[in-house]
Structure 1
Amino acid sequence: MANLGQAVVGIIVLLVVIAGLLYVFYSRTNAVEKTGYGALAMLALVSLMIPVFWIVEGNNHAEAQTRLFSTAVERGQALYAQYCTDKCYGIKDDKVINPKYNGYTIEEINKLSDDDITRIISAGVYNPNAPAPVSLSAIPKSDLYGGALLSNDIDYLRSFIRSADPGYLKLHGYAGQANGFTTLPAYLQANASSQYNAAVSYGATGQFGEAKDLTSQKTVSLDMVNPGDKGVTCDSKTSCFTPINIKVKVGTVITWTNHSSQPHTVTAIVGQDTATHKDAPQIFDSSKGDSSNLVKTNDTFTYTVTQEAYTFNPDHTVIYYCRIHPDMLAQLTIVP
């Protein structure tokens, strides 16, 4: 829009200068003077037209680049919907929540350079701090790495991810480009209804599923076990908190017992970001900030649910994990 304004101003200036030169030209009676001023007028016209044409061409180029980026975002959206199917995002109130790619949150991946994002998409690099996917073979990757993504697909997916970063859009002149994630629910409804329904369900219960209602109990016992023990399974390859999601009241006394073969911590985190694990020791942390202070096999950790924990997050949940084994995750759902 700024380029268009500059072009208009340039054209007005051009017309004023031409009018002035024509006035000077016709006010002269000497033929030699007329010839000289005529040549000067032509030179001035050409000189002024060059920047005007450059501005207009620059505007056309910028619009073309924006159209190409918008097309790439649309195609990237379709690819994201096709390949990112393992708890990549939830849908709540017809809005995408907690979107991820290869275990990275979209906010986290958008802090990287274009080259790093391209590498993650192309090579199928999965976030080492995130819970492992159900199947490693399901991680999308480039055909150069034995996957199905072509070189254009890599660019499309990167553009789709970048559309969620206002700073990137502004820096590259795509300020009018919509966030591709905002239209993802509508795309899924029209093209992949089963995926849409799965995302809505995931948005309602989260990665921890439906909370086990223990609100009638004043004291609650939870366990840490090896995967497979007592029929317990989880995303962690090390150990599992079980039950993984419970609903309790403020004032409930919770005791975790470590029945696994390795020592752990029981540490609350801030918000819903299970990839970066920002500790919230003010809520609870069995290690008290010291990773060497562990709940060893057959040891216990006890915590009384507080009002602060209830109000800590808007949805009244607290996610916790093991600082030593960050893929060990569980959740408390708290009611007054």
Structure 2
Amino acid sequence: MVNFGQAAVGIIVLLVVAVGFLYLFYSRTNAVGKTGYGALAMLSIVSIMIPIFWIRETGFEASQKDGQEVIAITSGMQLYAQYCTFQCYAVRNSKLVDVKYNGYTIDALNQLSDQDLQRVVESGVYNPKVPAPTTAGAIPMSQTYGGALDANQTQYMIQFIRSASPAYLKKQGYGSSVKNGFGGLLDYVQATYPTQYQTAVNLGTNGQFGTPVDDTKSKTVALDMVNPPAGAACTPSCYSPINITVKVGTVITWTNKTSQAHTVTALSGDDPTASPKPAPQIFDSGNDPAKYVKTGGTYSYTVTMAAYNLNPDHRIYYFCRIHPAMLAELVITK
């Protein structure tokens, strides 16, 4: 951008010098003296104008750089809306929440080196700690690896992700016109992909596990560990039902109906797709292989007030320590 402060100072200095030389010029009656002072005045004016033009040119180049980055970020935002469709974000209270790309949070991606981020976007590396989509083509990647993104689009996607990092934008020297591209995502998705927008609203309302089964009238509830149904993200097994609503005091019993051992372990936090952090103080069938829930085995837990108070929305997520892609949810009421 043009530095108006520097430009103003330069113009003032130019005027002062010009006035000074005009005074000297007209105060001299000698023609030779006037000629000499005139030449010196012209040389001085030219010398002062050079840095002024340089400042202006530098500002123009910075403006061009910012403009190109804004175009790249906008293009990346449109590509993100088009290709990142599997639980990439949710809408809660008309705000964008739980934003991810290939299962990674945007903050986590911006901690990566440029080379590693390039690898994630280009080759479609999916976060191994969370369930990946089972639908073919649901993971965006470059054409080199069988995806839809060409080389330019891959770079746009990277620049869009980087735009969420104020530290990165500052390091690159961008001006105030270069902003976080995610700020315009919701309006664009709502206008361009209304069905996708509604899916994000539903995800924000009910979470990734859908509408919970209402078991609030039951004092005991039976859940199973089963082989995943077609299209399910949980692997190699699933808890079923995957989401229930229960009251404090309800006794829940999980039965393992698969051929593999599993655990039933509560998670802390309100984002089960982030790095899983067990909350064994709430419930945990055990981290010792001797306590794993083996085929035909069961694990029971009585819902407590501690579970109700763990998260502000009174939801608890749980998983299998052995198979972290096995995730489920409890909604707790009093």
Q: Normalised by the shorter chain, which TM-score bucket?
A: 0.7 to 0.9
8 Å CA contact retained: 2:70, 2:177: no
Match in the other structure for 2:23? 23
Q: Distance in 1 between matches of 2:131 and 2:211?
A: 19
TM-score by length of structure 2 reads: 0.87
User: How far apart are residue 116 of structure 1 and its match?
Assistant: 2.3
1:333 maps to 2:331: yes
Match in the other structure for 1:285? 284
Equivalence map 1:123-202=2 (5 Å): 123-172=123-172, 173-202=174-203
Match in the other structure for 2:60? 60
User: How far apart are residue 103 of structure 1 and its match?
Assistant: 1.6
User: How far apart are residue 29 of structure 1 and its match?
Assistant: 4.4
Q: Distance in 2 between matches of 1:281 and 1:8?
A: 66
What percent identity do the matched residue pairs reach? 54
1:25-79, CA deviations, whole angstroms, 9 ceiling, x for partnerless residues?
A: 4444455544444444333333332322222222222222222122122222221
Match in the other structure for 2:206? 205
Match in the other structure for 1:226? 227
Given the superposition, is the C-alpha separation of residues 291 and 178 from structure 1 closer, same or farther in structure 2, using an over 3 Å criterion?
farther
The one-letter code sitting in structure 1 at the alignment partner of 2:216 is T
Given the superposition, is the C-alpha separation of residues 332 and 14 from structure 1 closer, same or farther in structure 2, using an over 3 Å criterion?
farther
User: How far apart are residue 245 of structure 1 and its match?
Assistant: 0.9
The one-letter code sitting in structure 2 at the alignment partner of 1:328 is M
8 Å CA contact retained: 1:264, 1:294: no
8 Å CA contact retained: 1:253, 1:302: yes
Q: Distance in 2 between matches of 1:291 and 1:9?
A: 73
User: How far apart are residue 329 of structure 1 and its match?
Assistant: 0.6
Given the superposition, is the C-alpha separation of residues 252 and 175 from structure 1 closer, same or farther in structure 2, using an over 3 Å criterion?
farther
8 Å CA contact retained: 2:2, 2:56: no
Bigger shift: residues 24-33 or 218-227: 24-33
Name the Cα RMSD after superposition.
2.6
Count of aligned positions: 331
Match of 1:320 among 318, 321, 327: 318
Q: Can you give the 5+ residue segments of structure 1 that lack an aligned partner in the other structure?
A: none
8 Å CA contact retained: 1:142, 1:148: yes
Given the superposition, is the C-alpha separation of residues 304 and 174 from structure 1 closer, same or farther in structure 2, using an over 3 Å criterion?
farther
Q: Can you give the 5+ residue segments of structure 2 that lack an aligned partner in the other structure?
A: none
Match in the other structure for 2:82? 82
Equivalent position SS for 2:81: helix
Given the superposition, is the C-alpha separation of residues 15 and 319 from structure 1 closer, same or farther in structure 2, using an over 3 Å criterion?
farther
TM-score by length of structure 1 reads: 0.87
